[in-house]
Amino acid sequence: MAKEHEYKKDEALNIAVLTVSDTRQMENDRGGDRIRKMFTDAGHHIARSLICQDDREEIQRSLEELLADESIHGVVATGGTGLGYRDVTVESIVPYFTKEITGFGELFRMLSYTEDVGSKALLSRAEAGVIKDQVVYILPGSVKAVGLAMEKLVLPELHHIVHEITKHKHA
């Protein structure tokens, strides 16, 4: 019998990447490329990659499409998290959360503050949460911010989070 907190730390997980941008295409999606590379370097599979406009309906349609694939363990959205009028990623995705992972945004802003961003870190609206049995991260579009979030928060805890939100399936 497995202990309550045991989980497979080396299991390859299926991840989807959603880039939200009015200007990016696959050829110049540097933030999305960084996410995909860091996941594959860590032994995970990129199940899907989409780019959509910074538009609430398009973001929600793309998110629903990705979440409909139950083999996907998590979705990472990048972009559209600023304070500009067109930045609606957070408003588009957070209402879908069945559980918020509030510590993610708090830790991301703290790390950003200490990693030379300084007080500008308070502008970050990075978030994470659970939608049914899938984890969803909302990251800024900056390549540096993506790298920081992936290295310090997403990759170290991904297996643990997936285990916690799916263990009811294996009970």
pLDDT at 171 over 70: no
The reported pTM is: 0.93
How far is residue 25's CA from residue 19's CA, in Å, rounded to a whole number? Answer: 9
How far is residue 140's CA from residue 150's CA, in Å, rounded to a whole number? Answer: 11
Q: Domains in the chain, start-ordered, CATH in brackets?
A: 14-169 (3.40.980.10)
Structural tokens at position 13: 């997980």
Tens digit of each residue's pLDDT (9 = 90 or more) over 77-132: 999 999 999 999 999 999 999 999 999 999 999 999 998 789 999 999 999 999 99
Tens digit of each residue's pLDDT (9 = 90 or more) over 28-46: 789 999 999 999 999 999 9
- pLDDT on residue 27: 74
* Mean pLDDT value across the chain: 92
Phi-psi region of 111 (alpha: psi -120 to 50; beta: other; left: phi over 0): alpha
- pLDDT on residue 14: 98
Contacts of 63 (CB under 8 A, 6+ apart): 18, 75, 77, 92, 93, 96, 136
How far is residue 105's CA from residue 85's CA, in Å, rounded to a whole number? Answer: 21
